[in-house]
Amino acid sequence: MSSVELGDITVNYSRRSSGPPVVLLHGLAEDHQSWDGVADHLGGFTVYALDLRGHGQTTAGEGTGTLTQLSGDLDAFLRNVTGAAAVVGYSLGGTIGLRAATEPDTLISHLIAIATSSVVGSAAAEFFAGRIAQIEAGDMSGFAAGLRDDTAAQIVTPSDVDAVTARRLDAVGDGSGYINAARAMIGVRSEPLNPLLDHVEVPVDIIGASDDVFCPRRASDIIVEGVAGSRYHEIAGAGHLISVDQPDAYGTLIAGLLRERQST
């Protein structure tokens, strides 16, 4: 593992293999380890898997609870560590990547956004607010029980839900990063990315899951309609936690898309 000081935070990340750089951004209540199964498929690339602000071993700093701050963290990592790179973002990570890709001076060379939304509805905002309230009240046992329920609902294949939940709780730590990121996602309700999508000029691939009830197909369609030249791909037999349901199909698809864009 490596770390780098970027502004007010120390970012923890792994690096493996060699070749063109690819940066992997995990989802809410996860850390860099959630990409292990995907990274195994990415031979021929230098793969950087980050812990986002306040997740895993990355410090929380002075969180502002905004997507602008989180996308700024990504931009700082690209400018100080990798240079121009492909970015693969899952859920929260995909929304961060999408926001960063709207900037005219972005160093993102290719974006793969997975199970990603460019706008947050009222139900999702209330969900995030409820989880924030549990942490702020010190009800970590209630939060843990809720996260287990969330995790079970995001998986459609037989899996050890308790083990997956335990890994996610480790990534959450004291909850400060979860609160910051959840607030940022709530902000996407009042300030959706949709009006900015036509500013994205880098190649974009969108990946969805056939049985994802947390980020349904319509969320992907909105992005595809808004970003010129973007493409949609779907993984069958998977819920929101694609890395748990279909790790090999997931890794194979991402690797294929990265290699295709590299060759054009």
Taking only the tens place, the pLDDT of each residue in 161-212 is 999 999 999 999 999 999 999 999 999 999 999 999 999 999 999 999 999 9
| 212 and 205 Cβ atoms separated by less than 8 Å | no
Give me the pLDDT at residue 122, please: 92
Taking only the tens place, the pLDDT of each residue in 63-73 is 999 999 999 99
As a whole number of angstroms, the distance between CA 135 and CA 229 comes to 41
User: Exposure pattern of 9-28 as b/e (b: 16+ CB <10 Å)?
Assistant: bebbbbeeeeebbbbbbbbb
The DSSP-derived string for 22-38 is EEEE--TT--GGGGHHH
Evaluate if residue 264 carries a pLDDT over 80. no
| 206 and 116 Cβ atoms separated by less than 8 Å | yes
Q: Strand 9-16 relative to strand 2-6: parallel, antiparallel, unpaired?
A: antiparallel
Structure tokens at 259: 């290699």
As a whole number of angstroms, the distance between CA 74 and CA 99 comes to 10
CATH 3.40.50.1820 for domain 2-263: yes
Give me the pLDDT at residue 95, please: 98
Give me the pLDDT at residue 217, please: 95
Evaluate if residue 57 carries a pLDDT over 90. yes
Taking only the tens place, the pLDDT of each residue in 231-258 is 999 999 999 999 999 999 999 999 999 9
As a whole number of angstroms, the distance between CA 170 and CA 66 comes to 23
According to DSSP, the residues that pair with 14 across neighbouring strands are 49
pTM exceeds 0.75 for this model:
yes
The average confidence (pLDDT) of the chain is 96
In the block, tokens 């999508």 appear at 197
pLDDT band of residue 48 (cuts 50, 70, 90) is very high
pLDDT mean over 23-38: 97
pLDDT band of residue 263 (cuts 50, 70, 90) is confident
pLDDT band of residue 262 (cuts 50, 70, 90) is confident
Q: Where are the domains of the chain?
A: 2-263
Give me the pLDDT at residue 221, please: 97
Give me the pLDDT at residue 61, please: 97
Q: How far is CA 172 from CA 135, 137, 167, 253, in A?
A: 10, 16, 9, 28
